[in-house]
Chains A and B, each alone.
Chain A
Amino acid sequence: MSLTAFYLLAVFIIAFAVVAVTATNMVRAAFSLAVTFFLIAGLYLMLGSPTLAAIQFMVNASAIPIMTLFIIMMTQSRTTPTPRLWQMVLGFIAAAAVLGFLRAAVEHGESQTTAASTAVLGEGLLSAALLPFEVASVLLLLAMVGAIALARRRAG
């Protein structure tokens, strides 16, 4: 049963990802991207981590697409030009590199993972991984301050 569910999810993830990359209509591309992220949350759920699935759902499948939609609405860019050949080749090379990197990472870490409950994950974030966690939040804060500064300069 879980194998069937996995293949169903995989087929839909790939289909929507392809639409997200190839669609020239920006709104459609953003929407398919959101659906892809949402289905990936389903994969996390199958791997036994509902926390990660919920956070994926909250951040990647809800908040980020809304920001994307806002940008599309603000900039009034409804369609994208079709990519040139060299852009496509470069994209494929980049995608292959990322895929190889991820594959290596998964093979490296396969033996060390356990399905973490919410409490274990939370405790891990606030004890063992506290420094990267805080660094990431400071980075986000910096990004926000930078965005505000840019917007103010544009306005003034």
Chain B
Amino acid sequence: MSYIPIPEDRHFRIKRIGYDPGRSRPWLERLVYSLYVFAFWGFVIATYAGVPALFDALGWTAGWGYVVMRATQVVLLFLLSAVIALMLILALRKYLGKVQERYGPMHYGPAGGIQTVFDALKLLGKEDFVPAAADWLTFRLAPAVTFVSSFAIFAVVPFASGWTLADTNVGLIYLIAVSTLSTYGVLLGGVSSGNKWALVGALRAGAQMVSYEIPLALVFLSVAVWGGSLSLGRIVDSQMGLWNVVPLFIPFVLYVISSLAELKHIPFDFPEAESELIAGYNVEYSGMSFAFFFLAEFVELFLLPALIVVFFFGGWHGPLFGLEPGTLAAGALQSLYFTIKTAVWVWIFLWIRATLPRYRDDQLMEFAWKAMIPLALFGLVLAAYMRLIWR
């Protein structure tokens, strides 16, 4: 059916953008979204190899120079986390669209590739509003605490051998502490909002995250027992021949489940539960404060799969094709392996999110205390036993 164009004097004429969506272009989508993975890789190389090389060339390697170098890396990682959040939100929307037989974002950029940049600009432009019933200081602090506690995990994640901000020998304890801290921002946000839904959401979030903290910590312990160190770098080193996923299969499964709960993702999204709690603990937030909650969630969506790769899938290990370990080229290749493994795990998390329905609240807690924790203890004892026998 065709019409002669609508006359000019009708002001309800639709603006037609010069864009032909008549055919879907899967190859373009695949190209754009793979390019994003490589852009991320470039960012990692710049942060972990470029900045130290630059400061070496400048001669600032001791004292305050070292502090400035680390600070530069942290700033770059902050930018990287913003980029990660933008990419992952886009990937989530696109993937959920595909799964639900929609197209997802497709109007801005090739295959919708820069849609989330516009979303972020929209959030920047919105009014940041503090409700009258809220305690403004804690209300303002909560998004910052949430974001910092997610962002702080970056400090110990090894992207390649030696490419980490702080390869401390207490990395695992630090991880437990930081992931406990992320509960804190959520609780603060919910309590200070002065809103019933926010309070209920925060209580649920607190109960859920504290419960799933325990199997998570026990899984960390099994990994430490098997790897013989609390340092993430050395845990990856110890997986040279055999990835941990084989001997530590039970802790691996438990880790995937409890990190889904940590992420507050479907099937464990009670704290947000759009259908019953509107958005849970962040219901009163708008503008940039809300954006920080979002940012934290999606940075965690990157970091927890990254930790799966570190703990169970050999981190940066992969064929090096005769490159000398420790050189720039070897580091770049290793970080590429790490990036690709992480991307696969992020995809699996999105896949789970697209598939499963929400659990029931009491079933969730029952599952944590009656199934996860005993199994995690069993896995810990098994790991210790196997270490005694085989190593």
* Interface, chain A (partner B; CB < 8 A): 1, 25, 27-28, 31, 34, 50-51, 53-55, 57-58, 61-63, 65-66, 69-70, 72-73, 117-118
Contacts and interface: CB of A to CB of B under 8 A. Distances in A.
Nearest to B180: A62
Q: Say whether chain B's binding surface is mostly helix, strand, loop, or mixed.
A: helix
Contact of B138 (A28, A58, A61, A118): A28
A54 B173 contact: yes
A73 B203 contact: yes
Contacts of A61: 177, 181
A50 B231 CA distance: 12
Contacts of A55: 173
Interface stretch (B1-9, B185-193, B302-310, B383-391): B185-193
Contact of A69 (B137, B141, B188): B188
Given A27-B192, A50-B170, A117-B169, A66 B137 contact: no
Chain A contact residues: over half helix, strand or loop, or mixed? helix
19 contacts: A1-B64, A1-B67, A27-B138, A31-B141, A51-B170, A54-B170, A55-B173, A57-B173, A57-B177, A58-B173, A58-B174, A58-B176, A62-B181, A66-B180, A66-B183, A69-B206, A70-B206, A73-B191, A73-B202
Given A62-B184, A72-B191, A117-B169, 5 more contacts: A1-B63, A27-B192, A58-B173, A58-B180, A65-B184
B177 A58 contact: yes
B169 A118 contact: yes
Contacts, number: 72
B168 A50 contact: yes
B177 A62 contact: yes
A127 to B, nearest CB: 18
Contacts of B184: 34, 62, 65-66, 69
A73 B183 CA distance: 14
Contacts of A70: 187, 206
A135 to B, nearest CB: 22
Contacts of A25: 135
Contacts of B64: 1
Given A1-B63, A62-B184, A118-B169, A69 B191 contact: yes
B330 interface: no
B144 to A, nearest CB: 11
A117 B231 CA distance: 13
B210 interface: yes
B384 to A, nearest CB: 14
Given A27-B188, A54-B173, A61-B181, A66 B210 contact: yes
Interface string B154-178: 0000000000000011100110111
A116 B177 CA distance: 20
Nearest to B177: A58
B30 to A, nearest CB: 41
A27 B315 CA distance: 40
A31 B187 CA distance: 11
Contacts of B141: 31
A63 to B, nearest CB: 6
Nearest to B194: A78
A70 B206 CA distance: 8
B88 interface: no
Nearest to B182: A62
Contacts of B202: 73
Interface in B118-144: 135, 137-138, 141
B372 interface: no
B230 interface: yes
A152 B56 CA distance: 64
Q: Find the residue from B169, B177, B203 having the highest chain A CB count within 10 A.
A: B177
B45 interface: no
A55 B174 CA distance: 8
Contacts of A117: 169
B295 interface: no
A63 B192 CA distance: 19
A31 B230 contact: no
Interface in B34-93: 63-64, 67
Nearest to B171: A54
Contacts of B230: 118
A69 B176 CA distance: 19
A12 B180 CA distance: 23
Nearest to A60: B177
B235 interface: no
Contact of A31 (B174, B188, B206): B188
